[in-house]
Amino acid sequence: MSNLDDILKSRRDTRHFTNDSVPDAVIEKALQAGHWAPSVGLTDATQYYLIKSVEIKKAIKELFLEYDKKAAGSTDNESQKEQYQNLKLEAIEEAPLGLVICYDRSVLNNFTIGTVGSNEAIKFSAVCAAQNIWLSLTEQGYSMGWVSILNYYQFKEILGLPEHIEPLGYFCVGKPATNYDNQPMLQQLHWKQKSETPFVSEITELHLATAKQVEVKTIHPLTTDFFLKSLQQKIDQKTKPIGSLGVLEKIAIQIATVFKTLEPKINQPHIVVFAADHGIAQHGVSAYPQDVTRQMLTNFLEGGAAINVFCKQNKIELSVVDSGVNYDFPSNTSLISAKIDKGTHSFLNGSAMTELQMNLCFTKGSEIVTTIAKQGSNCIGFGEMGIGNTATASVLMSVLCDFPIEDCVGRGTGVSDEKLQLKIDVLRKAIENYQGDKNLESYLAYFGGFEILQMAGGMLEAYKQNMIFLVDGFICSVAFLIAFKKKPSIMNNAIFSHQSAEKAHKKLLDYLGVSAVLQLDLRLGEGTGCALVFPIIKSAVAFLNEMASFESSGVSEK
């Protein structure tokens, strides 16, 4: 076959193969065609793995059948289910050769200007390679079938693929046993009809989207003299010396005041971890490569991180949000998708985000907390994950508090002395390069991070919903600083869980005029401080509601 149009029309997703083996020369020529495919920035990230082992094919087939069974069960339409189950969707064991086409995500850690923009780019390059292979095989009288109905985590485990290698799927390769009447097989079986011509439409009008602004209504806590006197009297009448429960008494007063009751209860506590990537990480300000953000989110989803352990221990619901990670997560995960973009731009020489994106962050953060509040939660903790976000938080603290950048920079993920100085120098230069207006919104758009601004929006909404909210470490405190600048009265609802090992955190807490409950030298993030302080929050509520008074117990007062 030599005519290009004929080759393109004859390319089929093949599921029926003869027993003929695939000559080495055929597959070598096809893989070379894949290598010639377009590759963004010549990243050379596409990799190929050949499968001939009967044992491996059998294991992949079992994986397919497990997922296929779930797919069939996703409809209550018995006719559709029967029709689906009669389809032949793969030829994993029948095809003489298996091919796994992958892309190497680790190239994202080697930033070169003008090449890799996002994980999407290297994925699409691998898809281009798959199409070239398909066309080459068709021209040689062979074909492929794409199997994508798989659990990709298990698929990678079966093949022993490195963590940074992502498969597009499993491809069955061989000589086709039929031409399917020169039409796609699913069309031949009347499962679905492919349109005769492509959809084409010219866009002639420019659409400028506007983000919904977060409306923050003022809620006046019940702070009448009568209520406060009654609350203080209830605490002082407990069987203890006055003031002897220290910080617990302050927490009890705060929670009772926010909830406007002398018998407050914590309902359905929840911690939300917001995650995003940061363009400033390209300049070596972190001890870890950017892809660790994506890796840690996978760890959260699999229940293996510290925050998972502490939430499970203290019976706290945990949600994880993709605010702007440079990766496309599978749609079948429990992740909350609030992605603004594939990470911010570097603010060293330009704005991290647009004003529209900045406003959208507040909207998204607000919507997430609104949903949690509607589920019955009145106590929420905020956590974060994002390589480079201590750098972003440091700059925001510096410009919003008018502190020297040196006072706002810490070791973050644990950088060396040399890297710490580099971090300070990079961030100082970024601030010096800033030529914008010196107001809150301009600073946030230029220096902000998607997860930090979404947390700020979430805190404003938690205040609006009359929730108690727990602030984690340094980065979350910077998010609180932003929310506080917008609405100072949110201080009434905030509990600062711990003072972290980041040296700037104490300076920021002092600036806000607050004290943290715990001091454990934490610098992990993830909302771990919120989870650890929660038993103390529960103890404050418990003593207020359950501890005996001098009168009820018959104990003599002083």
Which region, left, alpha or beta, applies to residue 266 given φ > 0 means left and ψ of -120 to 50 means alpha? beta
Asked if 355 is an active-site residue, the reply is no
Residue 382 backbone dihedrals phi, psi, to 5 degrees: -115, 130
Sign, CA dihedral 542-548-550-555, equals negative
Contacts of 330 (CB under 8 A, 6+ apart): 152
Helix, strand, or coil (residue 501): coil
Q: Tokens in use for 412?
A: 């973050």
Q: Do the strands 270-276 and 97-104 form a parallel or antiparallel pair, or are they unpaired?
A: unpaired
Closest CA to 380 of 307, 477, 472, 454: 472
Helix, strand, or coil (residue 92): coil
Whole-angstrom distance, CA of residue 246 vs CA of residue 216 = 33
Q: Are 125 and 107 in contact (CB under 8 A)?
A: no
For 263-277, the three-class secondary structure string (H helix, E strand, C coil) is CCCCCCCEEEEEEEC
Summary count for the chain: helices (H), strands (E): 20, 10
End-to-end CA distance of the chain: 102
Whole-angstrom distance, CA of residue 442 vs CA of residue 429 = 18
CA 345, 351, 356, 359: dihedral to nearest 10 degrees?
A: 90
Single-letter code of the amino acid located at 320: V
Whole-angstrom distance, CA of residue 516 vs CA of residue 471 = 9
Which region, left, alpha or beta, applies to residue 48 given φ > 0 means left and ψ of -120 to 50 means alpha? beta
Whole-angstrom distance, CA of residue 203 vs CA of residue 225 = 63
CA 173, 177, 179, 183: dihedral to nearest 10 degrees?
A: -60
Instruction: Select which of 526, 546, 551, 557 is catalytic.
Output: 526
For 417-446, the three-class secondary structure string (H helix, E strand, C coil) is HHHHHHHHHHHHHHHHHCCCCCCHHHHHHH
Whole-angstrom distance, CA of residue 325 vs CA of residue 305 = 18
Cα–Cα separations (whole angstroms), residue 414 to 110, 343, 418, 532: 20, 22, 11, 22
Report, as residue numbers or ranges, the catalytic residues.
526
